[in-house]
Amino acid sequence: MKFFRSPYYNAALNLAFEETLLKDTNEEFVLLYVNSPSVIVGKHQNSLAEVNYYEVIEKNIPLIRRISGGGTVYHDYGNINFSFILNAPGNNKVDFRKYTAPVLQFLESLSLPVSFGKRNELLLDGKKISGNAEHVHKNRVLHHGTLLFDSDLDVLQNTLKVDLLSYKDKSSKSVRSVVCNIKDYLDGVNIDSFIQKFENWLLHTLSATKSELTSEQINSADNLAEQKYRTTEWNFAYNPKYFLEKLNYYNMVPIQVFLSVEKGKILLAKLSSESRDNGIREILTMDFKNVFHDFLSIKNHLKTNEFFIDMDEHFVNSYVKLFF
């Protein structure tokens, strides 16, 4: 087994590393990486229904879909991600207990009161510190998970605060849990020393060998990140068909919004309001059919209207928010 610790903090690239090593090699890998602030949604989820999209946009946090199922998670510099990419002949490829065992044992070695939860999560003193997900490709399996060491839990909670009543769909829904940071249970341990301890444990326990990726593997992952993990088509258009029905407000005046969206594109948009605001009146006359339902696409479409072309970005954004 090879061990690779990614020097990159880019979520799209690190997810692309996982997929590249899973599908383009027959070797077994264990990966460790840390991402800059980002939201990672499960493959079968409605990405917009799983997050506070206003918070994501205002903080410029990338929203990225992974290839595994499960719920939505928040990554930042205080969160550690681990991945096991293994050959798995036979029928029992999905085994959360088996693949989380080395992680659980490592945490136990630090005298932490950890346990395996009912939803395949790892718990510390009864609170969630690790979400886990798996993806099977032919006779290989990717198991990856998170470890909350010193994450900004306020941003995590605000980012993953959702409005499920407004979205109607058949997607997989996240189950929110009470979370905590591992750092709060360890004295005098910073994230760098924690990661190093974790790395040493994995190298010893799994008899792994430190390795660097080849230039071909890095280039392949870089291309995959650009062509898949950074695209609207993957991150939004892969959403199941859904309806958004919501009462929004502009300058305290109600705006009734109804959207029908399929493959990420708006099929039908009905907005109604008694507002006398000129921007709202312009929006009510516009056709949004086949526009992608994401912030940038809506914004670009508004700017095809002369009224919005030279408008200050802050005010344009306030109109875009009406669609979410």
Q: What are the DSSP calls for 186-215, one per residue?
A: SSS--HHHHHHHHHHHHHHHTT-EE----H
Structure tokens at 222: 């870089």
Residue with tokens 């609170």: 127
CA 130 to chain centre: 14
Q: In 3-state terms, what secondary structure has residue 83?
A: strand
Structure tokens at 56: 């994501």
| 3-state class percentages of the chain: helix first, strand second, coil last, to nearest 5 | 35, 25, 40
- pLDDT of 265 reads 97
Q: What is the pTM of this model?
A: 0.93
Q: What pLDDT tens digit does each residue of the chain (324 aa) get? A: 999 999 999 999 999 999 999 999 999 999 999 999 999 999 999 999 999 998 999 999 999 999 999 999 999 999 999 999 999 987 778 889 999 999 999 999 999 999 999 989 999 999 999 999 999 999 999 999 999 999 999 999 999 987 778 999 988 788 878 999 999 999 999 999 999 999 999 999 999 999 999 999 999 999 999 999 999 999 999 999 999 999 999 999 999 999 999 999 999 999 999 999 999 999 999 999 999 999 999 999 999 999 999 999 999 999 999 999
Instruction: Measure the CA–CA gap between 158 and 265, rounded to whole angstroms.
Output: 27
Contacts of residue 261, Cβ cutoff 8 Å, sequence gap at least 6: 239, 241, 242, 243, 244, 267, 293
| Domains defined for the chain, CATH in brackets | 2-235 (3.30.930.10), 242-323 (3.30.390.50)
Element (DSSP H or E) covering residue 245: strand 242-250
